[in-house]
């Protein structure tokens, strides 16, 4: 089993990495799978193309943390409507329908991609009573870390950094971006969700960060297509952009902080 070097550089959990060959063998045996090629990977998971008794599928092995632990539960709620269909699961292991891995919204003309992603943002925002990480709790945790980083870097006025009030209890995906939307025939479906229970406006930010052009016209397009509250979308996008800016500075990145600065300044000006 050959693990891509880029994935090894992202993941520092040596014990989990060492367990991957035995995990792959176990779940292939348990679910009657045959690996059909090398894995794809994201930041925290490996995805193997496999044949299954139900047809072509994808076996995902992922580290379990606060952002990934509820992925299978969210996919069950969505049931293949707007997101990839879940076939089987165990902690840190998901068997998924296989989509068109080489066809994502990242390769679609920008306005069309934004409209499609915004419609998916709304489609996946469905009521849930509980069982998922609360968005307010998650945001307060981000704020605590961001506040510590702000003390080190102080790249913007401290009063910009605040958490808006959470007003809804919908299942949302906080990591919807163009590379995480793949084709299935004429449909577009979300993969690799990071679910929270809160409000869809929290999910707008990655659609501005990715394929960045620095303009706020895209915010209006997303808000219109998804039927969102523009003021709330601006507030959450500003908070998430400032948190991302500080996180990127802490890691020594150079391009990401500059993009965040440009977007944050436009969002602050827009709110005056």
Write the class of the CATH domain 5-98: alpha beta
User: Are residues 122 and 64 in contact, defined by beta-carbon separation less than 8 angstroms?
Assistant: no
Q: What is the Cα–Cα distance from 57 to 47, expressed in whole angstroms?
A: 10
Answer yes or no: is pLDDT of 226 > 90. yes
Q: What is the Cα–Cα distance from 247 to 196, expressed in whole angstroms?
A: 20
Please tell me whether residue 229 adopts helix, strand or coil conformation. coil
Calculate helix-pair angle for 230-250, 135-153, nearest 10 degrees: 50
State the pLDDT at residue 182: 98
User: Are residues 164 and 235 in contact, defined by beta-carbon separation less than 8 angstroms?
Assistant: yes
Give the active site residues: 175
Percent of the chain exceeding pLDDT 70 equals 100
> Which pTM does this prediction carry?
0.94
The residue among 220, 225, 200, 199 whose CA lies nearest residue 208 is 220
Domain residue ranges of the chain, discontinuous segments joined by +:
5-98, 103-270
Write the class of the CATH domain 103-270: alpha beta
pLDDT, one tens digit per residue, over 53-112 is 999 999 999 989 888 999 999 999 999 999 999 999 999 999 999 999 999 999 999 999
Answer yes or no: is pLDDT of 1 > 90. no
Is the torsion defined by CA of 212, 204, 175, 120 positive or negative? negative
For the chain, the residue count is 272
C-alpha 261: how far from its chain's center? Answer: 21
């Amino acid at each position: 089993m050959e693990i891509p070097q880029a994935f090894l550089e992202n993941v520092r959990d040596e014990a989990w990495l060492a367990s991957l060959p035995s995990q792959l063998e176990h779940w292939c045996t348990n679910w009657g799978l045959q690996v059909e090629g090398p894995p794809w990977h994201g930041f925290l998971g490996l995805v193997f193309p496999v044949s299954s008794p139900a047809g072509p599928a994808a076996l995902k092995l992922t580290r379990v943390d606060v952002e990934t632990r509820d992925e299978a539960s969210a996919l069950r709620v969505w049931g293949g409507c707007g997101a990839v269909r879940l076939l089987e699961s165990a902690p840190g292991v998901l068997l998924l329908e296989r989509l068109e891995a080489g066809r994502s919204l990242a390769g679609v003309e920008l306005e069309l991609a934004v409209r499609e992603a915004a419609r998916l943002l709304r489609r996946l925002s469905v009521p849930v009573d509980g069982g998922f990480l609360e968005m307010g709790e998650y945001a307060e945790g981000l704020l605590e870390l961001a506040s510590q980083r702000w003390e080190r870097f102080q790249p913007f006025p401290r009063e910009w950094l605040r958490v808006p009030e959470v007003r809804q209890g919908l299942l949302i995906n906080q990591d919807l971006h163009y590379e995480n939307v793949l084709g299935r025939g004429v449909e577009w479906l979300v993969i690799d969700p990071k679910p929270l229970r809160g409000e869809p406006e929290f999910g707008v930010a990655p659609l501005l960060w990715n394929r960045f052009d620095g303009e706020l016209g895209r915010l209006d397009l997303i808000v219109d297509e998804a039927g969102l509250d523009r003021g709330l979308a601006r507030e959450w996008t500003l908070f998430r952009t400032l948190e991302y800016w500080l996180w990127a500075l802490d890691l020594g990145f150079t391009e990401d902080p500059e993009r965040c600065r440009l977007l944050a300044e436009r969002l602050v000006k827009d709110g005056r």
